[in-house]
Amino acid sequence: METCTIYYILGSFKIIKRINYDGCAEATQCFISNTHFDISNWTASSENGHTNNKMADVDVFISNYTIIDPEIYQLWIEGFSSSEAVSYLKQKGFGHSMGAPSDLIASDVLDHYRTYSLIELYLNAPTKLMEQSCFQLEPHMRDLITEKYYSIDDVVAREILGKKLSSRYRKDLDEVAEKTCVKLKSVRRQFDNVKRIFKAVEEMPGTLTNNIKQHFFISTDLAKKYACIVFLACLRFETTKKKLQYLSFSDLLTCSHAIMIYWTYTYQHTGPEYYDTEMDKEFLLDLRELRCLLDKEKEIKHLVCMRLKPVLLERAFHELDGNFRSYWRALITIACNLHRNRELRDLFVDLCEKLIDPWRQNGWNREQVNKFLASITQSVLDLEISRDQETRCLWDRYMQVITICLDKMYHI
């Protein structure tokens, strides 16, 4: 009897059994790692059509669950072609320790890629992935491939922000790929995922993060990224102007998350009927009441200077003393205009032009910015004014977002 070589593969090139079967002619079965194979029909035919008594050379690849190799899957996610993936794996010495030939590596990668392309049909609607029976996937592996499929690079997300999620823009994604050094196939996958999630949750009641988690079965952190993109797109916040290009996706993620928490209807209301894509219009209108604080400029300046004089250098303190009015009026003006859609959309631009740029020109560091914001927030809360409780609540809710935004947006 000739040798029958059996490979039992748990993952790509992770060979846990390699045996030579030299059993007698009557042997019809063998067991490898608790897996049963029937070899009764593994015989070779002679040229005259008669069956030989010896067994032919056979290479058998057997798996139980659908094999997902995390490394090959990651290459597929990143947009590598199968040939590029094979070259990459060879450079890393993949399979070298087990003597796997090149054609075996290439064949296995192609097999994985074909499998992932078939699974992708279900990944486009993760609920179907949970219900399908074509691919036997363990729960942890199903979660892994879903999470990775919907992963999004911050640099790609930053380029997508502010753009229309249209087929026309999709045709121009090669520019995004070139700018971000991310493969075009991966950029298209990420764009399609953003568009798919946007359409699914845009008008869905409840909070964006929870809706995305529940319908696409991804982690909270990843759902927050998509929630940021959807929120900024729904409210049409300006993020594409040249003045704002220095801001990273992480910066805008933090800012948008703060706005969703403090300035939407979900701040004071709970329940599925409230959206965190809908700004609290009553609150934005009420912010006009903060205009009365312009008359309290001297008192507030006095309180701020008292707090900051001991902790600022003399030069920094004199600069603040001389320019306090412009900073104070900028904060109040922005607040009083947020009820207008255009002013709300330009929030990040206004913060840059009216506060961040002047602070940079005057040599402020980030610590000085945070001390000023904390001091001016508390000074208004300590001020004795008419209708004080309502004004304090408005001011505190307003400054929660402004402080977070300015802290993230202020880059030296």
Please check the confidence at residue 58 and state whether its pLDDT lies above 70: no
Average pLDDT, the chain: 85
Distance between CA 67 and CA 73 in Å, rounded?
10
197-221 pLDDT, tens digit per residue, is 999 999 888 899 999 999 999 999 9
Amino acid at 143: D
Pairing of strands 4-9, 59-62: parallel
Radius of gyration of the chain (CA): 31
What integer is the mean pLDDT of 9-26?
A: 38
Domain boundaries, the chain: 4-62, 70-147, 150-267, 281-409
Sheet bearing 4-9, strands edge to edge: 15-21, 4-9, 59-62
pLDDT digits (tens, 9 = 90+) for 290-333: 999 999 999 999 999 999 999 998 999 999 999 999 999 999 99
What is the per-residue pLDDT across 337-359, written as a single tens digit (0 to 9) for each?
A: 999 999 999 999 999 999 999 99
Distance between CA atoms of 248 and 50, rounded to whole angstroms?
A: 73
Residue type, 265: Y
| Distances 225 to 116, 203, 217, 250 between C-alpha atoms, Å | 24, 18, 14, 9
For residues 335 and 293, the answer to whether their CB atoms sit within 8 Å is no
Alpha carbon distance 349, 69 (integer Å): 45
Among left, alpha and beta (phi > 0; psi -120 to 50; other), residue 318 is: alpha
Residue 19 has pLDDT above 50, yes or no: no
Do 335 and 290 touch, CB atoms closer than 8 A?
Answer: yes
- What share of the chain has pLDDT > 70, as a percent? 81
CATH code of domain 281-409: 1.10.490
CA distances from 9 to 12, 13, 15, 28, 31 (A): 7, 7, 5, 22, 14
